[in-house]
Amino acid sequence: MRKELKLLHATAQIIKPSQSAFNENCGELYKAIIKKIASDLNLNILKIAEHTFSPQGYTAVALLSESHMSFHTWPEKELIAFDIFTCGEMKIEKIKETLKNQLGSQNTKIITNLCDRQTE
């Protein structure tokens, strides 16, 4: 019997995060979050690519055995976009908790969306 393939896609908007989410060393923070979420969901990171934009903004993308995970920041809008697509396990509440703990402040709002991208 073949195990059913799951194709799950989750996104999150982190609005008004802590200011540390935008500091010049924020790359280390995002890589640590990627590694924590991957560990929590039993996902395998193949590679993390990142880029810091001038004068501001940061992007990190993790290539996973199971698909991908990414962060994009817009400091001028006080916004972070998170995206994860996987054929593995998805725990959206655990992801949201990690995002809040690592990026949140008193005024932070996190909006999540989970889509099942099943094929026939």
Active site residues: 67, 72, 87
CA triplet 16, 40, 108: central angle to 5 degrees?
10
Cα distance between residue 70 and residue 34, in whole Å: 8
Contact 86, 41 (CB under 8 A): yes
Paired tokens of 112:
């999540």
The β-bridge relationship of strands 67-74 and 58-64 is antiparallel
Q: Give kind and range of the element (H or E) at residue 57.
A: none
